[in-house]
Amino acid sequence: MRHGLGESVYLKSRSNIDYSDAYKAFPFIDSNFSEAGYLVVNDYYHDTLFPYSELKNNKDQKVILDVSNGLSKTYIGSPTSSLGFKEGDPIFVYRKHTGVGQAGYKSCVTTFCMVSNIIWIKKQGNVYLPYDEFIKRVGNKSVYSVEELQSIFNNEKNVVIIELIYYGFFGGGNNINWVWLKNNDCWGEGYPTAQRLTRAQFDKILKEGNIDVSNVIIN
């Protein structure tokens, strides 16, 4: 730790990183990870949950919530298939375009995160966490209103909370659209949330997003 004028600056050694806890490892990713994945977030919610990961010249209206700030992010989804990632895996956030225009050029990867926790609320209609506990667990970290959360809980067969650590973003002009992912062997068949990415594919996407991989993954 170094002291400045009225503030402290903390330094982290790149040669002694504790990968047992994603918060302690931040902003580095363990080079020994086996697989990565995609998390799909609709554009409207994406730009609230990941405020620094917007598209260049994007003028869409956003929800202004406390969730916009902070390293920790909470995603609530209703996947129709199994997840292609687990706790401790790095993932890319895929911003799904829902408006007019060609989705293949407007839907894109904007962000990379670390999965810190996965909590199944419901699976195939079976409740694993009651509604009150679900709401308490979400707190103020969701882009959804209480009414929307109640509707999700009551009407969806599968409900999952995925807690994330916001590691980095590509920035306007560097986001990677679906066409590039498909043409460069980084997009498989089936729903993207169920797909698995190799280390080579993960590195390729980071590089295309103009990220220095050596500053993210320490070999």
Is there a domain that residue 187 lies in?
Answer: yes
CA atoms of 73 and 164, how far apart (whole Å):
5
Is there a domain that residue 83 lies in?
Answer: yes
pLDDT in tens, 145-169: 899 999 999 999 999 999 999 998 8
Q: Is the pLDDT of residue 199 over 80?
A: yes
Q: Give the pLDDT of residue 59.
A: 44
Strand, coil or helix: 151: helix
Is there a domain that residue 22 lies in?
Answer: no
Q: Residue 57 burial (CB < 10 Å; 0-12/13-18/19+)? A: exposed
Q: Is the pLDDT of residue 12 over 90?
A: no
Is there a domain that residue 44 lies in?
Answer: yes
Is there a domain that residue 27 lies in?
Answer: no
CA atoms of 129 and 24, how far apart (whole Å):
28
pLDDT in tens, 27-69: 889 998 889 999 999 888 888 888 766 554 444 443 433 444 5
Query: Number of structural domains, the chain?
Result: 1
- 52: containing domain: 32-213
User: What are the start-end ranges of the E strands in the chain?
Assistant: 2-3, 8-9, 29-30, 37-42, 72-77, 90-96, 108-123, 126-127, 159-169, 176-177, 217-218
Its pTM stands at: 0.85
DSSP H or E stretch at residue 207: helix 199-208
What is the average pLDDT across 89-115?
91
Return the minimum-mean-pLDDT range out of 89-93, 148-152, 181-185, 191-195: 191-195
Is there a domain that residue 1 lies in?
Answer: no
Look over the chain and give the mean of its residue pLDDT values, rounded to a whole number: 85
| Assigned token pair, 22 | 């994603």
pLDDT more than 70, % of the chain: 86
Is there a domain that residue 189 lies in?
Answer: yes
Q: Give the pLDDT of residue 156.
A: 96
185: left (phi over 0), alpha (psi -120 to 50) or beta: left
DSSP track, 47-71? HHHSTT-PPTT--------GGGSSS
Is there a domain that residue 5 lies in?
Answer: no
